[in-house]
A and B are shown apart, each in its own frame.
Chain A
Amino acid sequence: MKYVLSWLGGTITGALLFLMVLYYNPLANTLSVSPLAVYGQPLIDLEYSTVPSETIAYTNNGKSRIQPYPDKVAELWEPTVRKTIVLVTLLTDSSGQPKGLGVKFASESERTSLLKAEALVDSAWHVFLPESGSLFIDQTENMWSYARNIIVPARWSSADSWRGTWYGITTAGPTALGTAKVAGGTGRFADLSSEAVEAISARAYSAQQGPVSATGSLTIAAVEPVADH
């Protein structure tokens, strides 16, 4: 009997050790330098707030700690969409000037692999910039680093919150360089095929409400110069 108990104790210890190695794996950190930094083409920078109450609308399945916004917005409770969030937001340039509208769809990805430190999200942006054009961004995001560095510490904290400075590129594909695919729709972006990356700059997170102070940014490589950005 004592051998069985000893084996069981070892099994639990081994499982915990393995999970700790996965969680603290230093090789699993998010990129902080954009692959587009060496792109050699004009870049369009767009920013938005990731705080739900600072968006136009945000919805999810209604069971999450992060509550849909505004009040009475329909929730995505149906089985096919309950692992999806949708965000409608004003997009600004880096100086805060409004440039257009963005809709982001993000669904938990079935390719998520905790063994590889990949908490993947299949996301898509529908962007309309009246002075430039419209475009679509297809990307796979890896939220592992965001979760490990912000969400988990906020939940472990006695204050139920996290404060600090964290910047990370969440885009992890689908291109071989780990960038998102961009397809232009109208205006100057008509027939554009390019790449983009999305990043999050976080300063405060509440375990009860979600992001308190955080900015998302989209950097899009433009094939031809876009004068007013």
Chain B
Amino acid sequence: MFKSFIIGILSGVILTACLLYFFPAVDQHREASLTSVQANGGNTESFHANLPDDRIVAGGAGKEVIPASLVWPAAPVLGDTQAELFKIRNRNDVVVGVASRISGTGTATGSVVEWTLHLPARGTLYANLQPLPDEAGYRSGRLRAGTREFASMTGTFTERFQAGGQQREAPEPEGRIELLTALTGKAEGGE
């Protein structure tokens, strides 16, 4: 009986180790990547945020804040800095991640508009955009950094706000922010 107990202990150790090794502690839910192939071998992917429903946070000095209970810090150094958080959807209108948009004017930076898209199962994208949109309303820029699936990518990032046809009772217009990435793999020995 003592031998059975000792064998049991060894079995317990081995079974627990196998359980921890073979069954992942974390399994992130994945949605298929809805990309379109470009002629240069890269791919484009579009994301969007439906407003106002997908806006998680909005804040800035003297600006309307979301949610209404949010307290924006009274720090002069922030100046006209605005920060927004959104849920980000893919082409099928399914939430695939979260994103931050920071804009403002800094003494060292001039006008800044930046996006960070965080897609938990895939990675994160960081892009700097032109401060002013073009005549068609597009504000474009470059991908500055990416992580995991996007770590070896380079390319462009475009933002456009598209107003909706109806006005809600909410104090902001219904509409959506469209984001388009056009990415290619970095060349060997490149940045």
Contact = CB atoms under 8 A, between A and B. Distances in A.
A35 interface: no
A109 to B, nearest CB: 6
Q: How large is the interface on A (under 10, 10 to 19, 20 to 34, 35 or more residues)?
A: 35 or more
A174 to B, nearest CB: 8
A3 B28 contact: no
A7 B6 CA distance: 8
A185 B5 CA distance: 62
B67 interface: yes
Which has the most chain A C-beta neighbours within 10 Å: B12, B87, B121, B128?
B12
Given A6-B1, A81-B87, A186 B28 contact: no
Given A7-B8, A185-B114, A128 B70 contact: no
Contact of A126 (B105, B114, B120): B114
B112 A81 contact: no
Interface in A49-83: 56-57, 59, 70-74, 76, 78-83
Contacts of A108: 26, 28, 120
A134 B102 CA distance: 10
Interface string B144-161: 110110000000000000
B9 A2 contact: no
What secondary structure prevails in chain B residues at the interface with A? Answer: mixed
B104 A124 contact: no
Contacts of A181: 145, 147
B51 to A, nearest CB: 12
A78 B148 CA distance: 22
B85 A19 contact: no
Q: How large is the interface on B (under 10, 10 to 19, 20 to 34, 35 or more residues)?
A: 35 or more
Contacts, number: 262
Contact of A105 (B27, B55, B116): B116
A8 B87 CA distance: 49
A25 to B, nearest CB: 13
B35 to A, nearest CB: 17
A73 B112 contact: no
A223 B186 CA distance: 23
A185 B128 contact: yes
Given A7-B11, A10-B6, A56-B72, A128 B81 contact: yes
A80 B29 contact: yes
B108 A130 contact: yes
Which has the most chain B C-beta neighbours within 10 Å: A10, A12, A86, A109?
A10
Contacts of B10: 10, 14
B31 interface: yes
A112 B73 CA distance: 36
B70 A56 contact: yes
B28 A134 contact: no
Nearest to B53: A74
Given A14-B12, A83-B28, 13 more contacts: A10-B7, A57-B56, A78-B94, A79-B29, A81-B95, A101-B83, A124-B116, A126-B114, A130-B105, A130-B109, A132-B106, A134-B102, A185-B114
Interface of B: 1-2, 4-17, 20-21, 24-31, 55-57, 59, 67-73, 75, 77-79, 81, 83, 85, 87, 94-98, 100, 102, 104-110, 112, 114, 116, 118-121, 123-124, 126, 128, 144-145, 147-148
7 smallest CB-CB distances across A and B, nearest first, come from A10-B8, A14-B12, A130-B106, A183-B145, A14-B9, A98-B75, A187-B108
